[in-house]
Amino acid sequence: MEAALRIALCQVTSTADPAANLELVRTWTAGAAARGARVVVFPEATMAHFGVKLAPLAQPLDGPWASEVAAIAREHGVLVVAGMFTPDGDRVRNTLLITGPGEHRGYDKIHLYDAFGFHESTTVAGGDQLVTVDVDGVRLGVATCYDVRFPTLFQQLAEAGTHAVAVPASWGAGEGKREQWDLLTRARALDSGNWILACGQADPAAAGVEVNPKAPTGVGYSTVADPFGAAHARAGAAPELVVADIDPAAAEASRKATGALANRKLR
């Protein structure tokens, strides 16, 4: 039987400066590792927040920014998941860097945020591949922000054997949006039988960081939802480190109880 896995959600507010944001990763990873975390999750757009030109900032996975995050992960013996941007011709890819001992790869956001008046696909190319990684006998999937609105992705990850899904985000503010974030993260937990490790950007106003008010730059309220859809741990609006132990056995218990995968007829 797999043992519980300690994870950390680093709810930070990134700036427009990748170098400054790298120092956030360094400091918060050290703090998470000191509390025993084996997986350290940062938000979408950790490399640089939205509302700035992304193409000039984009770097490949073997570039200096990702390589330094890899070194930080190796130093502390943890897996780090952090949002960055990688080049793709005239556009970029909204990439999750997944790096640590024995791992260094990326997940490109599949569902692009062409909603609520935004058009992410204008500047971002979408991915089409699921990504999973094993840590201490626990299989972890990944998804990014707007992906959380699409249950099939999470159910396919569950069918690939995941116990948990990390969901870095930079959630857009607006009427009802925080409530949607809460509802969607817990719903994806319940309908896939996964722990959902939803790590959002902190509310910039609570962190004192100036951002483009028209860009989706975070609302906070990062959440660890258990596979039955209950909030196991939750942050507030300001920068906060959330540390939680997740039991992989709960994933199988949820799927057996709900039949959400076994009884599914449409895919």
Catalytic residues, which ones? 44, 109, 145
- Residues facing residue 195 across a β-bridge: 164
Of the candidates 144, 165, 146, the residue with the CA atom closest to the CA atom of residue 154 = 165
Of the candidates 230, 237, 200, the residue with the CA atom closest to the CA atom of residue 9 = 200
Of the candidates 76, 13, 68, the residue with the CA atom closest to the CA atom of residue 46 = 13
Exposed/middle/buried for residue 187 (C-beta within 10 Å: 0-12, 13-18, 19+): middle
Containing H/E element for 106? strand 103-108
